């Protein structure tokens, strides 16, 4: 039970509205937070990402993604690693030791809408566009592993999992113009792909 200091009167507060799905299309976005999290079954870890849309009418909207990097299924790990590679190429950071190196680096993403599945409604899915694909006009995008993108649409929130560490390191943004955008570093721990 949670007791409030004073009674809360909902009549004077506008109710929160569920986020609508982003329309399918190309967007400029950046990663603003990341951390390694433990899977629900406790047998793997995924890289959790929070992205911000940077331009257009949906500027400031948040998207979430997760890349399964430690998993007993090698196909799942392969998908996660290929998605991470696409992010690295899209941000120009080819060799990374910490997910924080991918923060605040604008990149092009392609948003699609996935149909309802497993009791969840429609949701947005992300593909990371490798810059050479933009120049050549070819489709060289890497799709993240479902259900990697979780949209808050229809009351669904980001994936629930226990963080690998309870207090991720908070650092100052590299770009002074975006000093109000917080971001965290992916924790390093046993089995973390970010260990040197």
Give pLDDT, residue 103: 98
CA distances from 78 to 46, 71, 102, 140, 181 (A): 13, 10, 20, 17, 31
| Lowest mean pLDDT, pick from 10-19, 24-33, 36-45, 49-58 | 10-19
Q: Are 155 and 18 in contact (CB under 8 A)?
A: yes
Coil, helix or strand at residue 12: helix
- Measured CA to CA, the distance from residue 130 to residue 122 in angstroms comes to 26
| Digit-coded pLDDT (tens) for 98-108 | 999 999 999 99
Per-residue confidence band for 193, with pLDDT thresholds at 50, 70 and 90: low
Residue-wise pLDDT for 44-76, tens only, equals: 999 999 999 999 999 999 999 999 999 999 999
């Amino acid at each position: 039970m949670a007791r409030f200091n004073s009674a809360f009167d909902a009549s004077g507060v506008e109710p929160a509205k569920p986020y609508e799905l982003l329309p399918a299309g190309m967007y400029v976005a950046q990663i603003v937070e990341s951390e390694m999290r433990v899977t629900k079954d406790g047998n793997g870890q995924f890289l959790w990402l929070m992205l911000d849309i940077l331009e257009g009418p949906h500027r400031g909207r948040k998207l979430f993604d997760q890349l399964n990097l430690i998993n007993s299924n090698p196909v799942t790990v392969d998908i996660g690693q290929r998605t991470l590679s696409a992010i690295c190429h899209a941000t120009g950071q080819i060799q990374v030791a910490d997910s924080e190196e991918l923060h605040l680096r604008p990149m092009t993403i392609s948003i699609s809408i996935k149909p309802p599945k497993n009791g969840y409604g429609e949701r947005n899915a992300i593909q990371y566009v490798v810059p050479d694909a933009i120049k050549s006009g070819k489709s060289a995008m890497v799709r993240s592993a479902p259900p990697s993108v979780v949209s808050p649409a229809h009351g669904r929130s980001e994936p629930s999992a226990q963080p690998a560490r309870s207090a991720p390191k908070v650092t100052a943004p590299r770009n002074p113009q975006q000093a109000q955008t917080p971001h965290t570093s992916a924790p390093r721990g046993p089995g973390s792909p970010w260990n040197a």
